[in-house]
Structure 1
């Protein structure tokens, strides 16, 4: 992409919700969060071989993208719904069950959430454990 395109955008392609650099930064953030989460589980004495449920929050800039991504989450057996807060971007909320909370499984899950969201022009904003 030339300098002119970088400054003014490309007329032949719609502008992405998050650019490649932002997506990469987001992936690194979630990878670091996995290590922090596993440290917390270890401190609590949680058995990491047990399944764990997470609430996932994604964001995007249009209703159409939010609806489409919520539908995609449901296709892979996640609960998924979207909302428009009073201010800010559209949010897609999903619930996911992971068979075990060991590091490789969580890293694979984070990678999948990032890939899915990027493929649908959304951002994987956060994930929170649903405590029993």
Structure 2
């Protein structure tokens, strides 16, 4: 079974680019979820191995979803042009941050790093 990456992104073409990177790495994409509400519903259905989150969505900031992911020890990658890196690092110290626009290679590196952290957490828990 392939690893699942939740994508919370309200820009369709950005979500397609993320999906291309994920597919190229052999991961399954859950989403994209364009709103906080939809992402929350998706998260209540299943817990992903990793999540890529845009900060500003159509219905508000992604922080309720990020808080739930953080509490579940799911690695987070913030992928946003509207992020305050310092505040994000303070609130989510283990999160990775890829400012938009980011190159596919930098997003790929963040995904690989987050997935390695996810595998390590599962191995130590089980």
TM-score normalised per structure 2: 0.28
TM-score normalised per structure 1: 0.27
